[in-house]
Amino acid sequence: MTRILWVVAMAAGWAFAGLTPALAQSSGGEGVSMQTLLKRGYEIKAAAPNGAQYVVFLQKGNSAYACEFVTITNSRCGSINKEAQ
């Protein structure tokens, strides 16, 4: 649990610094959409402003994702740890 909190804190730091995690993918490409993650049982744990956009952090067990809203209907999500499913 401590590891997940550390990873989320680091990702939040990237968000505030205006950086995007290297693993983030477009929801239209190889990555996964926020809708898909929510359907798989992931829960929204936090949200952080990133300029005019928001980064939302989702978690299920030891697996965590960060999703950046590109538009209101399009998000880019990527795993922020190695245990992502």
* CB-count exposure of residue 27 (10 Å: 0-12, 13-18, 19+): buried
Model confidence pLDDT, tens digit, residues 13-51:
544 444 444 344 443 445 788 999 999 999 999 999 988
Q: Quick count: other Cβ atoms within 10 Å of Cβ 8?
A: 20
Domain containing 59 equals 2-79
Q: Decide if 85 is inside a domain.
A: no
Domain count for the chain, please give it: 1
Residue 78 has pLDDT above 50, yes or no: yes
Q: Decide if 10 is inside a domain.
A: yes
Record the pTM: 0.61
Q: Decide if 49 is inside a domain.
A: yes
Q: Decide if 64 is inside a domain.
A: yes
3 in helix, strand or coil?
helix
**pLDDT for 71:** 81
Q: Where do we find the tokens 């929204």? A: 44
